Each structure stands twice: as structure tokens, then as C-alpha cells.
Amino acid sequence: MPRAEKGVLDLSSWNFPDDGSVSLEGEWVFWWKEIRDPDDPFFSDPAVYVNVPDVWTNYEIDGQALSAEGYATYSLILIPPDELQTYGLYIEGEGSAFALWLNDRLLIRKGRVASDSHSRLRDKGPLTLYFESNGEPLRFLVQMSNDQHRKGGFRNSFLLGLVEPIHHYQLVNWFIEAFSLGVLFIMGLYHLIIYHFRRTGKAPLYFALLCFLAALRHGVTDQCILPTLFPLITWSGAIRMEYFVFYISPAVFVLFFKNLFPDDINKWFARVVIGISLVFSTLVFIFNTMILSHTVTFYQVVWNIEIPYYIYFIIRIARKKRAGSSYFALATLIFFSTVVIETLVINKISDPIRINYLYPLEMITSFGFLAYIFVQAIYLASRYSSAFARAESLAVKLRETNRDLEYSEKKYRTIFEESKDMIFITGVLSRVQDFNPVCTEILGYTREELLSLFMKDILAESDDFYRLKNKIMEQGYIKNLETILLSKSGRPVNVLVNVVQRKGEDGQLRSFQWVAKDITAMKQAEAERLRAQEFEQMSITDPLTKIHNRRFFNEAIKKEEARTRRIFKPLSVIIFDIDNFKTVNDTFGHFIGDQVLQKLAALCRDTMRDSDLFARFGGEEFIILTPETDSHTAMDIAERLRAVVNETIMARCNEGDILISISLGVASWNPAESPDISAVLDRADRALYDAKNTGRNKAVLWEDLGNKGMVIKGRRINFIETESAL
């Protein structure tokens, strides 16, 4: 990058289309305590050259350092390329009032520049100017005054380039700032909504405040988006907003940390940080901007003193393996690193980080906070998902603590007042002497009304009181006993009661302590769960025979098909129905017919193997699925079942004992041979029809339909086979 020397910047050989834009940095002519006009001579004695950009307090004239408050004039001769060209000049914005002249033409004025009255600066937002050059030397004259900030002077350099690159540079800067501002605002709003719906923990609230504070700082610095959108925000107001965010953020940070890890951060450290933060934040509304700008240096020291403790804190939670400590450590280290870097850059201790020579990242804290938000959002999401489990664990620990530890009166009163369980202190005669606030919330009584009651008045059943009292006197305590309390309105409250005796120093019984945990919601949830299980079981069970129904079988056979393909072993299906079952219903009635079906289902269930699946397929038709079973084994099962049914009395009536027979169809399926398991159902069904058409009371294997001599069967006279038999 070319730099100005002795007030002259020679760009005659600079190729703007190829080489890009140029920052007007280097040695400018400088007149302190003078406001030069454009027609004044360029060089005058004594000629002083200063480095631009920089602040006045870093300059010395005659060995004396300049003060922050004052006025001066800068001048630079620029020799452009020898051609007619339109240029763009990007001015990032200065923190002091200034007027910029090009030759004898005023380009821009920000605030009022004068030796007797300074500033009146309303805004310092970036802007872009355009002008033409015919190749003649150009003289830039900057008149500047400051009485509002400790960093007076030409703080930010001008960027000169062709129109399109300068316009693109402005858009890129605006987009980055607007995107960052939008992300911060949306994340803050999101976590504020989370807190609105779930206020048990304040971490989302503090995190939302951090997001809003970072968005506010982002909006009033760099591109000054908020003052642009809201012109009522003056330069002074924007500075105060920036400082307020800088001062109050540590307090919100420490509250956020303490809410996430209450046992790991020192309470005195938190109090000191919050106190200092509030003191400095109050200064924003008291002092003018010049004094405020000096307080920033002191607060930067405070920030950097706090950082070592936070590093210790991160190491502490990492060693204790707190949930999410790795996320928290990464996010916090990124953010604090950007704070340190920005502090060093602002105080000119270090050069800014640059994406390239056009994009120095001086104010990088906001970008560090964006990274912080991203990592913390992941952590908070994981934290919310496990919140319920942690709540249960804390509840258990609290109950154990209440039971096992003896507290001092102060500690006991704290637990007593804040407990979510109902706690009653009763006398020896069980009259209520004291109770915690949640008792009135749940039961609806006033304090005066509860103090006039006995425990037997609160219990739903008076017998429960005497039963509880006897048990206390026998064993000295009651643990996790379920009973019911009645609210003032008569509403029952299911509770889990723990009762202990309270004795004085002399060992004599003084009172009883009753701890009643409201489990009404839990009982309702358990009832709903059991009801849902009952409905689910009913949906897959045949109501008459109490075995699986066809719906369940259809779902189960799909899973079994997949398993059979995986293990590559055969399975078989047995379909059977009752021979001439209609005659039973017509002769003895449907009540006897239902008894026959129920007896048959129970008999088959007892005869089958544990691995077989048995279901009612419809009417008097049943089906058996036998996993990992070939056709011959399935035929053995079918024949054994047929024989058992043949020999068993299914029902009794006035006409005598009822015997039945069944016909069975058997088919086997091998995934290597058949493409679809639906084929085996069709084959078994065809085998069943063959059994019925060839005499009934037999088992037919689908593979044997082509050879009738191989049919395995057993024949006997069926009780319901002919009407003469009936």
C-alpha cells in the first residue's frame, strides 16, 4: 500500500482497476490550534507532519504532548493517475466534528468546527462521497475540533477507490453489521420467549439481555445502524449507549454464569463485579462524554482483572465435569479473547486483525460474542433437554436432605419457606401450629383458618388420622405413606406423607412435622398411562377369546418376514377352522358357540410352543405362525393340535357333551424360494380348503396337494357332522 510522505501521496502510477482501493494513510501536514481555509498556503512555517490515522494525544509539538480537547487542520496533496476518472471516497466516521474540503470545494461537514465553540456533532456514521478528477493534483483539507471525547483527532483513515469497489465495500460493511445485529436481536428475543414460558431458571433471561446489549453496542458502533434508522439518537446518545453496554455487561455476565453454575462461582466475586458495574453504569447518566471517555480506560483494567478469575472458573467446572462445561469453556474463551484483543487495539498496544488490508477488525468483541452465542445456544439446547431429569434428581436430593440432616433454625426456616412440598408443624394433639406458604396455595385456606384446624380436619378420612397417629407413636415416624387431603373447596389432593417427631433438648416429644408432597398430577398421569395401555391391548386382542386378533397378526407377520429374511431360516403358517361350526350355533345357540370358541382358544394356547404366534383370523377361523419351523415340523404341530382338539370336550349342555373337530391347512415359506410371505398365507388357506373338501378333521400340507397319498390325517365320527348325530 502506498503511503503519504511529507504531506504528499503519489498515486500517479497506481492502477485502481487492478490494484484496488487505497487508504489515505501516512504523513499529513498538521496545524495545531489553527483552522486553515482552502485558499491558505499549503506549506507554512513551522511545517509539522503527523501520522494519520491517529489521535492528537499521540502527537508532540516542541516536545509537548497535545491535549484531547482542541482544534486543528490536516492537509494532504494527492497525485492521481493522469486520466479522467470518477472516484469514491469512503469515510468510516470520526469521533470529532470535522469539515472536508477537496481543493476549494466543501465535500462534507459533520458538526461545527470553530476555535471558540466546538463540536455540536450529531452523528459519526460512515458515508461515501463521489467526485471527478482529470489527473490534476488534489488537495484534501480536513478541519477538525473536539471537546467531547478523549480520543480527539483524525482517528479513521479515508478509503479512495473507483465507484463500484467503494460502493461494494460500503455494502459489505453494512451487510456484516446488519446481519450481526439481526442475529443478536433474534437470539435475544428467542431466549426471552423461552424464559416467558419457563421461569424456573433465569439463565435464558440473562442470556437474552446479553444478546440485546451486544445488539445495542453493534447498532451504535462501526456502521451506526441504529442512529441511521432512528435519527433522534445523537452522537452523544450513541456514545452513552456504547459505554452503558460496556459497563453493565459484566454484571449480566456474572449473573448468567452464577445461574448456570451456582455452586462454582464465588458469591463475593459476583457481588464485587455487579457493584463495580452498577457504579460505572450510573456514571453514564451523570458526566459528559469527555469525562466518560476517560472512565473507559479504568474499566478496561477492571475487565482484564476479572478475566483470570473466569479462566479459573472455567478450569474449575471442567475439572468437576459439570454438564456442558466444554461448550461453556470454548464459548467464554473465544469471547474473552476478543475482549482482550479489542482492548489492545483500541489502546494502540497491538495492530488490528485484518481480513485483508481493507478490512481491519478493530471492534471484534461483537463478532466474538456472535461465536459465543452460537456455542452457548448449543449448550442451552442440550441443557433444556435434560432439565427434567435434573429436576427429579434435585427433588430426590432435597427430600433426602430434609430427612437426614438437622438444620439450624435459620437454615431450617429458609427450607421451610421455600419448599414446594406442604409442611405442617402440629402440636402433640395434632393442632396446626405452623405451615409453609405452599399450604395455603394448594389447600385454599387463609393463614387464620389453617391455624384453627387439626390435621384430622384436613385429612379426607378421619380414620386415616388415627391410623397415622398410631403408626407414628409405634415407630416414631411415617415414610412415604399415600393419603388424601381436602382443600377448602372440597377438592381432593393426593399426597405422599412423611411424618417425624420433633423433640426438645430434654428428649420429650414437642410436636410433629408433616411433609406432604402433592402427587395429584402424577396420579392422574399414571391413570392416563394405564388407560392408554388398556386401550392399546384392547385394539390388538380378540374380545371373546382373549387371544391376538387379525390386526395384530398382520403387523407381527411383517416383522417376522423381515427377521426370517435376515436369519435365512424357514417359517410356517397353520390356518384352521371348526368343522360345521354353524350347526353348533344353530342348534345350541350362540352362547354355547362362544364357549366352544373360548375353550378352543385356551386349548390351542396351552398346546402351542412359546415361540408360536396364535391369533383369531375371523369367525371360527384361527391362524398360527411358527417361526424357524420347516413344513414337516409344522405338520407335526398341526396333527398334535388336531388330535388334542378331537379328544377334548369343548362345552356341556342339557343335550350332552359337545365335541368338535378342526381342519388345518399348513404351508411353509423359505425366503430363498418364495418372493413374498403373502404367498404362504394363500397356500395355507388353499390347503385348509382341501382339508375341508376331502372329509374334514385332517391336516393338509400345501406341498402334498399334488399327491393325495401323502396327506396326514386322523378320522373319527364328529359329534356335529350330521344332523342325525345331533
Active-site residue list: 620
Task: Mention every residue, 6+ apart, whose C-beta is less than 8 A from residue 160.
Answer: 11, 21, 22, 23, 24, 78, 87, 88, 89, 90, 166
Closest of 56, 36, 52, 64 to residue 91, by C-alpha: 52
CB 436 within 8 A of CB 417: yes
Question: Which residues pair with residue 133 across a beta bridge?
Answer: 85
**For residue 584, how many other CB atoms are within 10 A of its CB?**
25
Distance, C-alpha 641 to centroid of its chain: 58
Measured between alpha carbons, how far is 61 from 483 in angstroms, rounded to an integer?
Answer: 90
Measured between alpha carbons, how far is 510 from 288 in angstroms, rounded to an integer?
Answer: 66
- Which helix (H) or strand (E) segment is 301 a member of? helix 289-319
Question: Which residues pair with residue 721 across a beta bridge?
Answer: none
CA torsion 697→698→699→701, rounded to 10°? -140
Q: For strands 662-669 and 699-701, give the pairing.
A: parallel
Which triple of cell numbers denotes residue 281? 453504569
Amino acid at 28: W
DSSP 275-289: HHHHHHHHHTTTS-H
CB 626 within 8 A of CB 570: no
Specify the length of the chain in residues. Answer: 726
Question: Which residues pair with residue 10 across a beta bridge?
Answer: 79
Which triple of cell numbers denotes residue 195? 424464559
Burial of 608 (0-12, 13-18, 19+ CB in 10 A): middle
- Which helix (H) or strand (E) segment is 365 a member of? helix 365-385
Task: Mention every residue, 6+ apart, whose C-beta is less than 8 A from residue 464.
Answer: 483, 484
Task: Mention every residue, 6+ apart, whose C-beta is less than 8 A from residue 618.
Answer: 550
Task: Mention every residue, 6+ apart, whose C-beta is less than 8 A from residue 262.
Answer: none
Task: Mention every residue, 6+ apart, whose C-beta is less than 8 A from residue 4.
Answer: 24, 25, 26, 27, 28, 52, 76
- Which helix (H) or strand (E) segment is 528 a member of? helix 520-539
Interior angle at CA 176, CA 175 and CA 181, nearest 5? 95
**For residue 683, how many other CB atoms are within 10 A of its CB?**
22
**For residue 74, how many other CB atoms are within 10 A of its CB?**
21
**For residue 164, how many other CB atoms are within 10 A of its CB?**
10
**For residue 28, how many other CB atoms are within 10 A of its CB?**
26
